[in-house]
Structure 1
Amino acid sequence: MEVNKNMTTTTLEVYKITNTKQIKGCIKVHAWQRVKIVDGSTLGSFVSHWASVARYGSTDHEQVLPFNPQFLQSPPATTNFLPHPFLDLNLRCVNPVTRKFVFPNTKLSDLKNKVVLPSTNGGSITNPTRVEVLTSLLYKTAVAAATTARSSSSSSKPHFLLIPCNIRKKFVPKLPQTTVGNFIAGFIVMTRHESETSLSALVSAIRKQKMKVETIQSQELARQNLDSMMSRLGNEDLENVAHRFFCCSSLCGLGFNNVNFGWGNPAVASTTYMFSKQSGFILMDTPNGDGIEAWVSLERQDMKIFQNDKELLSFCQN
């Protein structure tokens, strides 16, 4: 099926499967999507259901995996969720490089134990998640690499980290995971000084911003969050004040490694979407579920420093 690349409508975006091939036991699925209507959860639910339909009637699969998509109708948002023009300027990678780093759960447990989180009541925040500590480690290392690779004249400029998260379960009442759409809210963490990029400081900052997302319990509040975030991203001076802008998206727990079209589970599940030359990280479960794969996209000169960071490598798979 061909995709009309000249489509200009902003009222509805489409998702189509464009090509499926089986090559020596390996299935390649090429999907065209736009984040205006499809998020990671929708993509995971759709592909899992599609695989279930493909296997229907086989001896080991006599029933189709339930999908039952839920749809919500709402008036157009005041903000058009499209990349702001500033992303075409200084904050985009000129020579992007993408590499995969694997972090076993045993190493992530060590990383969690290393994080000490002070709280306002003098206690500590217990049990930080794998995604929280890994996001903090990746961002910390990327900021250090970007700072080292650039002139000291830009060292005082802040760095930004954008994190989108699924808000289906935060609605009242909760939305089913099969609710079709782009049900994400985003928050931004800004750091300017090295002390703000310690693991404990970053996890604490991420959790503080996540608490604000917990209050998004309706479509209207989600729209307000989007308007606020895009307004901040659309600041005309951002390209001049930001040293580097990163985005981290977690696809963990969405079942991509369990998608079985009839030839078994995939040996490798990955995404080719890397923020359109935007620096960032995509996190996915390892095929065996024993860790997290981080697909890291950075400026080439930043990657040379990033991939040799001793602290980062100490938590990677040998």
Structure 2
Amino acid sequence: MVTSTATPLAPTGPRPIRVRRPIFSRRTSGGLRDSKGYTVFRVVNAIAIVVICFVTLYPFLNVVAVAFSSQGYINAGQVSIIPRGFNVTTFGIVMGDPMFWRNYANTIIYTAVATAIAIAMTTTFAYALSKKRLKGRNFFIGLAVFTMFFSGGLIPNYVLVNSLGWRNTIWAIVIPNAISIFNLLVMKSFFENFPEELEEAAQIDGLNTYGILWRIVLPLSKAVLATMVLFYAVAFWNSWFSAVLYMSKPELYPVTVYLRNLLMASAQPAGTDEGLQIAANVKAVTMLLTVLPIICLYPFLQKHFVSGVMLGSVKA
């Protein structure tokens, strides 16, 4: 009887890959392993974010504190982010004026109408420019970009608005600023990345161009629309020069012009304690009342705004 001494054959197939555990690693709650260097990076990154947030919020908090502080503490430079000598004298004077509420209502109307018209015109123009089959597309794009660098000038614009009979009307504020070329180019870039298959399928189902835009494209463009609404609303809300230029009746002014006039009046020497109080607080109150509606609007658009500011970074 012969006994075989041959060694068994090694199993065939790929050899398993051994993953070495990184040095100085630890297991997190999610089961991931982070190196020590990455842990240090996260700590430093968190500290940097906190510092940036504080630096960003400090000016606004300082404005709020100054708006509710007394004149003595403000002149002494003792107000940082906490009000000192709490008072609401300036708020009472400003908000107790009926003209303030009239101008505030004007601002709301101007902003709502102007934003609606601007969104409609910018959306339709950008959607048309996004189609490569459009005849004269390069000409229209070049014409739009040309207006970013060259304009007719202040006097020709005033003569044009006056000749159209728009002075002391809402149209003097709404129409001349209806389209922002920057916003137009952003929306054009978004529509260019829109999947063409969806539009082709809608066209096969019998929709025309306007039906595709209204029923297919716009419902899927909430991010860019929310971003444009925020951009236009902020621009029209803070606008005051057009109203000063084209309007001569105080009851037609937006609230920004009212607060500007109040600020200019407070810069004059005041002989009473109440006048000194207004002079010390009016700048902070002006900024606070102007930015407050936008701050209240932003949380409702934040989700879409975060997506909208990254338009064009990822191709659909």
Higher helix share goes to which structure? 2
Q: Compute the TM-score of the two structures, normalised by the length of structure 2.
A: 0.25
Q: Compute the TM-score of the two structures, normalised by the length of structure 1.
A: 0.24
**Higher radius of gyration, 1 or 2:** 2
